[in-house]
Structure 1
Amino acid sequence: MNTHHHTRLTAPEIASLWTQYLFDTMSICFTKYALSHIEDEDIRHIYQYSLKIAQSHVEDIRGFFEHELYPIPQGFTKQDVDVHAPRLFQDTFYLNYLYIMSLHGLSGYSLSLSTSIRKDLRDYYVTCNEEAMEIFQKCVDAVLKKGIYNRPPVINPPEENRISQASGIFEWVVWTAASFDCYRNQSYYVQYE
């Protein structure tokens, strides 16, 4: 005999949904403002995709709250932004902003997933993570295509393994720092003997 129980939302699940609702309604406002100024078609397409996702999240979260007879947060509305206000940023800023927000989305959705018990919420946050990954991929592809990505430094492979048990990690850190090409011939170069 199958017995179905209605599992109520837990406190962490409510907090995650509430927070995401606020973030997504804010994102909708900012994205609509950005779309009124973005000229670059590649960036515009990413923002249009992002807007569609944020709008679907707001609807999904409303559905969760309505099903639980829980009040829907007010969130941000069109009264909170003037989409016709003068342009504040260049297109490259908008792209970098969305790139950073996609990183925050990946972190937030992963945390929300890890604190969710109900299957429907876990499935929802898996989908949110997949969407955030897609935005992340689109942003990285665009910043690379436009040549505006600041790549982290690279580390040359060591010629030998110089870690010894006696000196441990400290010697390795100093040796690794000394092996960076960018530190050679610098006045602050540390010579470890």
Structure 2
Amino acid sequence: METNAHVELTSAEISNLWTSYVQGTMMICGLRYFLAKVEDPEISGVLGYALDKVFSSLLEEEHLPSPQTWDHTVMDSIVYTFSDKLMMFHITALIASGIGQHGIAMSDSPRRDLGLHYLRLAGEIAKYSEYRANILIDKGWLEQPSIGVDRKTLARKKD
């Protein structure tokens, strides 16, 4: 079997590329909108993150259309409609959704090249997510989630 042979994308792979591209463009659109509205320079640096265009190029290589981007819908108003805290939490939701989609897409494709793209991008997004989480913690906007019970400590207290 030839390893360099061209392999057509499956319908599931096309669907996942499409979905990943739409989620990526939605995140870019949200980041651009929020970036124009944010007041805190530290938050502005976090929102300046740009995503890879790998999904559109993979669709183009297969002569498949890419979804339309929504960049043109971002208004140039500088009215501060949302708080910096709310904008950061919206970006958090988009990040979680993107990482989840990459995991689904990776598990749905037998192609190693697609898996590597998804893995690389999920790693980049996870690094960005950690940086963003640290800012949320520093600002007191993110509390420690509930954690499991420390059974060893509980056992010692009974003695």
Tell me if TM exceeds 0.5: yes
Give structure 1 stretches of 5+ with no counterpart: 162-193
What is the Cα deviation at residue 111 of structure 1?
0.9
TM-score, with length taken from structure 1: 0.71
Are 1:132 and 2:125 matched, yes or no?
yes
Task: Give the paired residue count.
Answer: 154
What is the Cα deviation at residue 86 of structure 1?
2.8
Match of 2:134 in 1: 141
Cα gap change, 1:71 to 1:157, in 2 (>3 Å): closer
Tell me, in whole angstroms, the C-alpha distance in 1 between the residues paired with 2:94 and 2:12.
Answer: 22
Amino acid at match of 2:36: S
**Identical amino acids, percent of aligned pairs:** 26
Indicate if the aligned counterparts of 1:36 and 1:83 stay in contact, CA closer than 8 A. Answer: yes
Larger relative contact order (Cα-Cα within 8 Å, sequence gap ≥ 6):
2
CA deviations on 1:24-49 (whole Å, 9 max, x unpaired) are 22222221111111121221111112
CA deviations on 1:121-149 (whole Å, 9 max, x unpaired) are 11100111101211210111011111111
- From 59, 64, 74, give the equivalent of 1:70: 64
Please give the secondary structure, in 2, of the residue aligned with 1:36. Answer: helix
Are 1:95 and 2:91 matched, yes or no?
no
- Decide which structure has the larger Cα Rg and report it: 1
Q: How does 1:39-54 map to 2 (within 5 A)?
A: 39-49=39-49, 52-53=50-51
Are 1:112 and 2:92 matched, yes or no?
no
Amino acid at match of 1:95: M
Are 1:33 and 2:27 matched, yes or no?
no
Tell me, in whole angstroms, the C-alpha distance in 1 between the residues paired with 2:16 and 2:30.
Answer: 21
Are 1:60 and 2:83 matched, yes or no?
no
Indicate if the aligned counterparts of 2:35 and 2:47 stay in contact, CA closer than 8 A. Answer: yes
Amino acid at match of 2:62: E
11-20 vs 149-158, which deviates more?
149-158
CA deviations on 1:107-129 (whole Å, 9 max, x unpaired) are 11111111122222111001111
Cα gap change, 1:40 to 1:85, in 2 (>3 Å): closer
Please give the secondary structure, in 1, of the residue aligned with 2:37. Answer: coil
Match of 1:9 in 2: 9
Give structure 2 stretches of 5+ with no counterpart: none
Indicate if the aligned counterparts of 1:22 and 1:76 stay in contact, CA closer than 8 A. Answer: no
Tell me, in whole angstroms, the C-alpha distance in 2 between the residues paired with 1:65 and 1:155.
Answer: 43
Indicate if the aligned counterparts of 2:13 and 2:109 stay in contact, CA closer than 8 A. Answer: yes
